[in-house]
A and B are shown apart, each in its own frame.
Chain A
């Protein structure tokens, strides 16, 4: 009844998805079959050097700013280096032992749980609005724009906006007082409410991204499916359950992985808003403090290695659960 075939963006998105999916499997083989026609230039030695000329700068940057740091980081994590002095001593696994045995260092992972919970809320909310807005509604584009916009805003600006929002007698308190709740909370004052507030900000900020990803995926589901379902008398919920949910599964699982690794590496908002005070310090804030305030480069590197290992592990699990198809879907 209310659904129009959504033509807002599909031409590009759907087209790209289709061709990409086809090419994905055959690209490797095709390029090998190309040779016969161009045999004359194919044999020249210049030809063999050409790709490397194009790859020189990218590879140099890649190695210098990704692989060398990763290698060094693993090396530093076994030393007691302070980041400045010329001598560093090999200390074996001491940094790791310290990291895992001093409970106050490991406690920061508990903070991640707040953000993990927030991601669940975020994904649910995004999924709801993406479903709702993929059907025809008045002011659809306006709502789309409003929901997505926070994702584009500068993180520092968001930090200040919400610092003001959560102030004593600030926006939140004023709004709550309209509903009769007494307007005096130190939202950022106790560890629990501070972390909840910060996690709330992250929901506010990132829901838009999930929303747009889901929206794109839903729109790439062929419209006839809904029409058929409607003729069969399927309700909205049934349509969601049997058409939309399976159709966007790959994007959904990607979002879950991004949410988990994102929750482990939260930095910006808590650093800007509380500086990690009142037990809102996250793993990355702690790492940055070790490295650049306390000059414990060795320990900071061990932190970073642990985080990297965790994220690689999560990605690996995700690849096992949802094989490669995810890359070409949206």
Chain B
């Protein structure tokens, strides 16, 4: 709302300076965020000679269309395999998380049963156990199933430890009126049909939230694939990029190209789904 205050009000002068400072701080913060990324992008377009000639990191590349580093990073860094593995893991762990999360939420919210309090408590207490602390022991469990160094190890771990999604589903399911279930039940639907035909379709916004959060954290995760899939042909985007450290040594043009290749999918998704991502994180992070 803009109220036309007559100009004689002296306090109107001050906000001008304040506003300028506000913009200044925002621009500085944006530069702090963007400059390191931009420099890596510039480097990815340079040749090895350009980098080693001592012109400094901020010098512009000679040829803006020099994509040869990307080709090298993509083929020698096995990023195609990594992309395949990441996609495979994403597909299964996201589907699994959505099914498991929604089923758990449905069972907990819509049924009264013995030990319900205990089940709730088990899920609640599990939120307090940070994943990194238990990996030493989890490793032995995964190993004993013979899942070590297979793509199923991360998939099961991502599905099994994701309590956040259960909470998101639980919150949404509470908003769905129970009269819907009961009407369906009178028409002869059983619990599974109710879950599949009524509850699940109504959970769409929650599914979107979970898919986005789960997708981004899975795509970016380094720890679990690093520990559980040491084989080179099982690299994910994170671990494949990490392996650049060895063979490419000081070849920053290739490393930079690899880093940009890993970042680009995130950037594209972010630009298209901005709104949902903000909402998702605001809802997901506090549960």
**A residues touching B (Cβ–Cβ < 8 Å)?**
1-4, 9, 12-13, 16, 19-20, 23, 27, 30-32, 34, 37-38, 41, 48, 50-55, 57-59, 61-70, 72-73, 76, 83, 125, 128-129, 132-133, 137-138, 141, 143-157, 160-162, 164-165, 167, 169-171, 174-175, 177, 204, 209, 212-213, 215-216, 227, 236, 251, 254, 261, 265, 267-268, 272, 284, 287-288, 291-292, 297, 300-301, 304-305, 307-308, 311-312, 315, 326-327, 329-330
Contact = CB atoms under 8 A, between A and B. Distances in A.
Given A9-B279, A73-B137, A171-B39, A157 B241 contact: yes
Contacts of A144: 278
B140 to A, nearest CB: 6
Interface string B175-213: 100100010010000011001000000000100000000
A38 B123 CA distance: 29
B107 A55 contact: yes
Given A147-B33, A148-B278, A160 B40 contact: yes
A300 B157 contact: no
B107 A51 contact: yes
A169 B100 contact: no
A174 B43 CA distance: 14
A275 to B, nearest CB: 9
| List of 6 A-B pairs having minimum Cβ-Cβ separation, nearest first | A61-B160, A216-B282, A73-B137, A54-B107, A65-B160, A69-B137
A132 to B, nearest CB: 5
A83 B26 contact: no
Contact of A300 (B22, B136, B216, B239): B136
A141 B271 CA distance: 11
Contact of A147 (B29, B111, B129, B132): B29
Contact of A38 (B54, B57, B185): B185
B33 A161 contact: no
B36 A162 contact: yes
Contacts of B2: 1
A186 to B, nearest CB: 15
From DSSP, what is the main secondary structure of chain B's interface residues?
Answer: helix
Contacts of B222: 154-156, 268, 272
A265 B134 CA distance: 12
A150 B33 CA distance: 7
Nearest to A314: B128
17 contacts: A1-B2, A66-B126, A66-B134, A72-B137, A132-B26, A150-B33, A154-B222, A156-B262, A157-B259, A160-B255, A160-B258, A161-B40, A174-B58, A284-B132, A288-B227, A311-B128, A327-B287
Interface of B: 1-3, 5, 12, 15, 18-19, 22-23, 25-26, 29-30, 32-37, 39-40, 43, 54, 56-58, 100-101, 103-104, 106-113, 116, 119, 122-123, 126, 128-130, 132-141, 156-157, 159-161, 166, 171-172, 174-175, 178, 182, 185, 191-192, 195, 205, 216, 219-220, 222-223, 227, 237-239, 241-242, 244, 252, 255-256, 258-259, 262-263, 266-267, 270, 274-275, 277-279, 281-283, 285-287
Given A147-B29, A164-B39, A291-B139, A52 B113 contact: yes
A83 B244 CA distance: 29
B263 A157 contact: yes
A146 B43 contact: no
Contacts of A30: 178
B25 A212 contact: no
Given A70-B134, A174-B58, A13 B35 contact: no
